[in-house]
A and B are shown apart, each in its own frame.
Chain A
């Protein structure tokens, strides 16, 4: 295992940020921590690369206890923090060089890495422009480039695409896939279920410092709900008449809106239409996703729930 965390707990005074988490991340996969604001994602990452000591439990990375040899562990991993940390007065190239020195990379090697990263993250067009003049998407790409300067085996990305426009998100996803294809292990956090679903081989759904469910995205959806979802407006007292006897895996209500999970919602919709008589009830059919799993597990949505 690249990462092996056992019963990890982190308290800040009376506040419990992480309430006993176990993580096993094998080499070569992309693992996602999916959870709302304040779930404890960043704190978990900080314990993985060893900058925060767990209140209880322990973390091994590359088989090394992070608490005893943080230098050895961190020389082999890279971290992109949630908030970009760049030297705004300096250019991307200068930022990369400064960061490379933290790893004590020799000059030659550093030069070669900088060249490679300028291409890989498409930074070359503004390689010598002060960072403060660059767009948010460019700055984010540079932040990711910094975390790759030591050619890490493990890449940790804390909300890599939050606040970026759709085009930039797509471009970054492609880079993450390329890194995974090159054999790197990736641990990322996100509160976008589509991101987790598209990038991750495995995800852990985190809320209030606990892992609620873990597995491959399709596996989680299949185990907790069903393949597809049907949304419609309907009163509480109509439900038995509409659904009794139909093959429904799970039902969730949010206000007047009912979401019904089933493996074949098209035939379910037909059945409901027949029971409705002539009434044209508006129904939306879509694949079930991780957000639905989260909703089923916590009763709240990823965006709204607070610690």
Chain B
């Protein structure tokens, strides 16, 4: 491990410099998306499904969707964007002619993915709060959950991105991995009420489940010991995956 935080921040700043050019256009869809979701569900589906997990349906959905937004923000960054920087734009080849090392690049990109997650998830949270579906006072906890979601999905996505050789394979990642996660991770219905026995334990392997549970319990101030397991899962799995990334990024960049 040869990590220098200042150099990692220089990598992060590169992305920030680019983002500052386009943020006005980038950030706008982040506000429309939740508005569409909440309208469709509040006006449409919510008329048929009145209660879920003891809450109005839209209020049940909101915390999960905030995590999904964070997941998507991080995922786009560590898949398509990183692949383009690595293979097409050769950004990392240029960085490696300077004192920046592969581990700094890894750390800088993870930080940036977390930043994007914070922007996506943050916008979503603001809209749901303005809508009256999540409380204002949950904001600090929302930041924690969003950043943890960003870390987790930056790590998961990077493991995939550093293995593949063609950009087309990302459609598998999104449709075969992220979409099922989105649908089956407690976001749309309380998973625990639909599963029993061993399946309850199997479901704990789903990465998105943990940020969603953290958000739902924390937003409602129903603090519980299981949240320690969720935080532990996120930090543990992220660390493990980033160690894998540390090895593959060296192989990729310094052949």
A-side interface residues toward B, CB under 8 Å? Answer: 12, 49, 51-53, 70-71, 74-75, 78-79, 81, 83, 85, 87, 89-90, 94, 97-99, 101-104, 146-147, 150, 156
Of the residues A52, A90, A103, contact of B17 by C-beta under 8 Å: A90
Complex Cα–Cα for A104 and B6 (A) = 7
B21 contacts A89, CB within 8 Å? yes
Q: Are A87 and B14 in contact (CB under 8 A)?
A: yes
Contact with A along B90-102 (1 / 0, CB 8 A): 1101111111110
A-B contact number at CB 8 A: 69
Docked complex Cα distance between A71 and B93 (Å): 15
The 8 Å CB contact of B10, one of A51, A90, A104, is A104
**Which A residues touch B246, using CB under 8 A?**
none
| Most chain B beta-carbon contacts within 10 A, residue among A70, A98, A99 | A98
**Nearest-Cβ distance from residue A49 to partner chain B, whole angstroms:** 6
- Asked whether A81 lies within 8 Å of B99 as measured between CB atoms, the reply is no
B255 touches A101 (CB 8 A): no
Residues of chain A within 8 A of B100, CB atoms compared: 102
Listed residue (B2, B10, B90) with the most chain A CB atoms within 10 angstroms of its CB: B10
Residues B10 and A101 in contact, CB atoms below 8 Å apart: yes
What are 10 inter-chain pairs, A to B, with CB distance below 8 A? A71-B4, A79-B97, A81-B90, A85-B90, A89-B21, A90-B18, A90-B21, A99-B98, A104-B6, A104-B10
List of B residues within 8 angstroms of A85 by Cβ = 89-91, 93-94
Additional A-B contacts beyond A81-B93, A98-B17, A156-B97 (12; CB < 8 A): A71-B2, A71-B99, A81-B94, A83-B90, A85-B93, A85-B94, A87-B14, A90-B17, A98-B14, A102-B98, A103-B98, A147-B97
Complex Cα spacing A78 to B98, Å: 7
Chain A neighbourhood of B95, CB < 8 A: 102
One of B14, B94, B255 near A12 (C-beta < 8 A):
B255
With a 10 A CB-CB cut-off, give which of B6, B7, B253 has the most chain A CB atoms. Answer: B7
Quick check: A75 and B99 within 8 Å, CB to CB?
yes
Determine whether the beta carbon of B97 is less than 8 Å from that of A49. yes
Interface bits B122-135 vs A (CB < 8 Å: 1, else 0)? 00000000000000
Q: How far, in whole Å, are A81 and B91 apart by their CA atoms in the complex?
A: 11
Residue of B nearest to A85 (CB): B94
Q: For residue A146, which residues in chain B have a CB less than 8 angstroms away from its CB? A: 94
B97's nearest neighbour on chain A, judged by CB, is: A79
Rounded to whole angstroms, the CA-CA distance of A98 and B10 in the bound complex is 8
A70-B101, A89-B18 known; A104 and B7 CB under 8 Å? yes
Is B22 located at the chain interface by the 8 A CB criterion? yes
Set of chain B residues within 8 Å of A49, measured between Cβ atoms: 97
Describe B's contact surface by its main secondary structure: helix
Q: Is the CB of A87 within 8 A of B17?
A: yes
Q: Tell which of B11, B13, B254 touches A52, judged by Cβ atoms closer than 8 Å.
A: B254
The 8 closest A-B pairs by CB, nearest first: A79-B97, A85-B94, A102-B98, A101-B10, A71-B99, A51-B96, A75-B99, A85-B90
Size bracket of the B interface? 20 to 34
- In angstroms, how far is the closest chain A Cβ from the Cβ of B12? 10
Nearest CB in chain A: distance from B49 CB, A: 44
Q: How far is the CB of A195 from chain B (nearest CB, A)?
A: 21
Cα A101 to Cα B11 in complex, Å, equals 8
Shortest Cβ gap from B8 to chain A (Å): 11
Residues in A neighbouring B253, C-beta threshold 8 A? 51
| Given the contacts A71-B101, A81-B94, A103-B98, A98 and B254 also touching, CB distance less than 8 Å | no
Which residues of A lie under 8 Å from residue B13 when comparing CB positions? Answer: 98, 101
User: Who on chain A is nearest to B104 by CB?
Assistant: A102
Output the least CB separation between A133 and chain B (Å).
Answer: 14
Contact across chains for A74 and B7 when beta carbons are under 8 A apart: no
Q: Which residues of B sit under 8 angstroms from A79, Cβ to Cβ?
A: 97
Known: A78-B97, A81-B90, A81-B94. A87 touches B18 (CB 8 A): yes
Q: B17 and A102: CB pair below 8 A?
A: no
- Bound CA span A89–B18, Å: 7
Whether B99 and A102, one on each chain, are in contact in the complex, defined by CB atoms closer than 8 angstroms, is yes
Min CB–CB distance B13 → chain A (angstroms)? 6
**What are the residues of chain B within 8 A of A81 when measuring CB–CB?**
90, 93-94, 97
Complex Cα–Cα for A26 and B142 (A):
59
Inter-chain contacts of B14 with A (CB < 8 A): 87, 98, 101
Chain A residues with CB below 8 A from B11, complex form: 102
Closest to B13 in A: A101
Among the listed A52, A87, A150, which residue makes an inter-chain contact with B255, where contact means beta carbons less than 8 Å apart? A52
Q: How far is the CA of A146 from the CA of B97 in the complex (A)?
A: 11
Complex interface: chain A residues within 8 A of B90 (CB): 81, 83, 85
Most central of B4, B22, B253, B254 by chain A CB within 10 Å: B254
**Bound CA span A90–B254, Å:** 27
